[in-house]
Structure 1
Amino acid sequence: MSYTSYAEARMSHMFRPTPRKALRPPTRQLALRPDHIASANAALVLKPGRDDSAEVGYCIEQEDGTPVYTVTGRKFGDRTSREFRDESGLPLFEIHRWAVLSVPFYWYLTLPGSDRKARIATVESQTSLKGGDLKVSFENIAYNPDTKDKGEAQKGITLMVRRHGEALRLFDIVDGDRRVGEVRESIRFNEKLFLTKKSRRQGARPAMEIVVVPGVDASLVAAIAVILSDWYFGSG
């Protein structure tokens, strides 16, 4: 399918317009892994695998195909979580999903091999239904208590993931008055449509494009993209 036909098919579906924040860097760096903070605007592509028991359940690449991160399948080995790794295979953190009736959509991140109670980030839905916004809370490892502006010296950070559109999945990662990241269903990197309920039931997951602004941890935004893909397109 050509880029044009895919775009036309998507745009033919109605969507609900919602004001979006401007895309710009945060007032202070935001990170779980400071060594992965973007120094310039970064464009990545999340490509899902077909087998959730495989070692590579997701691959996150640069637009030219250069690997940046891999994520294990949710059912790989004897684990019930996903392991998020850098391009060398070094584990950075683990992504867990906690599903109970009172909190049906809740995820948390831990360092590799650490106790599950030692959470470095949590992601929770703002509704009991599938869809809507997510709240991302984490301890900012890039926190600088010596900053001159004490209003910016926040160690505990909350970001909001705002959904836009109905047919073409588009999510903004919002920090206060600005958009510091973006995850959107790709037009360029998908060969088929995922518009039908049948494709959803079959667990089909499209490629997603990721945008990260300078000053933000790319691995954090990529982890959010993995959670969004699982949540909206099947295996989560």
Structure 2
Amino acid sequence: MLQSQLLLGLVLAIEAASAHPRSWGPRKFTSLVSFGDSYTDQSRLNYFGSHNGSAPPVGWEQPDNNNTASGGYVWGHYVSQYADVNLYNYAVSGAVCSNEITPRTFSYINDLFPSVLEYEVPAFLADSKHKVAGKKFLDIPPRETVYSIWIGTNDLGNYAFITDSQVKNKTIPDYINCVYTALDQVYANGGRYFVLMNLAPLQLAPLYATPENGGVGANQYWPDKPDNLTLTSYRMWEQVATANDVFKYQTPYEVLVARRYPGAQFAVMDMYGLLSEVYYNPTKYFNGSAPANVTGFNNHCPLSGGECTRLPSPDSFMWFDELHPSQRTDQIIAEEFVKVVRGDKQWPCPAARQTCPHQDFTMSRALPEVQPPPYPIAIRPESITRHEVIVTVTNRPEPWHSLDYSIEHAGTELFTVRGQPWKISQARMFHDRSGLPLFELRCQWYDSSSLCLRLPGGDQCILEAKLRVAINAPRAVVTFRNAAQQPRSAQSEEIVLEVHAQDLYNILQVVVVQNRNVAYIHRITDRSVLAEGQRPPFRFRPKWMVRVAEGVDLSLIAVVVVIVGQRAGLDVGDG
């Protein structure tokens, strides 16, 4: 489906379950704690530089600064303004995630740049325990504070991975694991809302761009830069794409499968997609007196040192210098960051742009992108989606048995399922919102893994399903005759739908039709949002959130979830 691309690349909010949640973040957003490098630093590196390399003392109140690496205020300053929140900024210009992986020297103090793992997080932890006149120095209520981390620009950059300058035997996965290790400590200190900002499209920054896109040679940040700018640009592109793909998949694994951060909510804010959108659609974002400029930069410094020169109309530039986004770009980042926390509608990315590749997971709670089928598919054409939607399927707790379900969208009940546990077939009748019967789902009396869906009073199966347990096999194979209008060449075609598990615990499953992922099913595991049934072994009744592509019958998806979900109750109590 051609629609908005993601600002909020992936939201993992284990605690919420409504199809259209109030927001991803806290009910009340009062404080932001940020970690990172020069893309985020306000004035912390300045302290190191002006105090012979000594770190700020515990309880240091960081002054605001309108002369940061952006040429003005940094994005965190604007978040504080736009959302009226406290800002506690621990980012340090030049930082990497860990100096045990990619150490870089700050020549001004003849020592390493302070890193996230070895300095920033410990500094935050010390401040969090500090009191002034009996009052906590940091105002960071767990349910009102968001923690951001945006790190990697220096880790992947010159004098680090791109120049093969990392510590021996260290790789990019070590840098990525370092990010989660840093968040482990913040989580242990009470952090519950996290925004992991993925890597910017560094191959578009003048420091790493190709010559035709404004790439520069030797400069203040890389005096001995190799002459082959194209090779450098493509290697950076490869590094960034690789790291961002790992963040995209490792984050849901750590949160949903490994349960590394129980009770926490995570968002991966897609900085790559956002800044690509800005780069390819500059006139929508830059309002200076000169034409928008995304390949040049505002601040020019001679390689030999000396006075730097700033060009006029700074609000026309995407980049302040060879590496850093401009103040205007930081304002855009801040606007979108606040939207992430509030769960607002995200920025658009034109469908024609192949460089905005990621998807919007704002409402999908860790559900990857879906793809429309080649033509509509349905067992009930009236229920075909006109656009991508999120539905919630709940195994109802009221009856003593576990055969009743409700299916909702945007708080509205679409279908209900009423079970007949006294029948050998474990019959379940699907009803529309008015109560009219739609289908009856039955197990075969001789095989509970084989199911048949019939119209009320009918004797013919309009859909058949087979549950499987073999390793690497689909969890279910469903066949049905398509009731939707479709191309003449496909009118006699029988549709085969497969459900594949995406993890060992069947927490995430994908619905595949003709090699297209038309739906993702996420089983919610947080007990705080699950209802208790009337007797074991189904003490906690299962609940699912389902992302459905355009052109797919919602009643069909409801049937599929009920089919594959009939085994979920056996392990939900362990969730």
TM bracket (short chain) = 0.7 to 0.9
Helix, strand or coil for the counterpart of 1:119? coil
Of 7, 16, 40, which aligns to 2:387? Answer: 40
> Post-superposition shift, 1:2?
5.0
Counterpart contact for 1:105–1:128, Cα < 8 Å:
no
Which residue is 1:160 aligned to?
Answer: 498
The number of residues matched between the two structures is 215
RMSD: 3.7
For the 8 Å contact 1:22–1:178, the answer to whether it is kept is no
Q: Which has the larger displacement, 70-79 or 119-128?
A: 70-79
Determine which structure has greater relative contact order: mean sequence separation of CA pairs < 8 Å that are 6+ residues apart, divided by chain length. 1
Does 68-77 or 42-51 show the bigger shift? Answer: 68-77
TM-score (ref. length: structure 1): 0.75
Which has more helix, going by share of residues? 2
Q: Which of 447, 451, 456 is 1:112 aligned to?
A: 456
* Aligned-residue offset at 1:80: 4.0
* Map 1:218-229 → 2, pairs under 5 A: 218-229=554-565
Q: CA deviation at 1:155?
A: 2.9
Cα 1:158–1:230 change in 2 (3 A) is same
Q: Secondary structure at the match of 2:566?
A: helix
Change (3 A) 1:190 1:47: farther
**Mapped partners of 2:515, 2:538: distance in 1:** 38
1:73 matched to 2:419 = yes
1:95 aligns with 2:441: yes
Q: Partner residue of 1:138?
A: 480
Say yes or no: does 1:85 pair with 2:431.
Answer: yes
Match of 1:12 among 258, 262, 275: 258
User: Is 1:208 the equivalent of 2:552?
Assistant: no
Give the deviation of 1:183 after TM superposition: 1.4
Contact kept, 8 Å, 2:376 with 2:552, in 1: the verdict is yes
Q: CA deviation at 1:112?
A: 0.8
Rg (Cα) greater in structure: 2
TM-fit CA distance, 1:127: 4.0
- Unpaired segments ≥5 residues, structure 1: 15-19
Q: Provide the residue aligned with 1:17 in structure 2.
A: none
Q: Which whole-Å CA distance do the structure 1 matches of 2:424 and 2:516 have between them?
A: 40
CA contact (8 A) 1:54 1:75 kept: yes
With normalisation by structure 2, the TM-score equals 0.33
Larger strand proportion of the pair: 1
- Percent sequence identity over aligned pairs: 25
Q: Deviations over 1:150-204 (max 9, x none)?
A: 2x4443111111111124611111012210112111368952599xxxx983353
Amino acid corresponding to residue 502 of structure 2 in structure 1: H
State the distance in 2 between where 1:78 and 1:126 align: 20
- Note closer, same or farther for the CA distance 1:41–1:189 as it changes in structure 2 (3 Å cut): farther
Q: Please, which moves more after superposition, 166-175 or 47-56?
A: 47-56
What is the alpha-carbon distance in structure 2 between the residues aligned to residue 91 and residue 55 of structure 1? 19
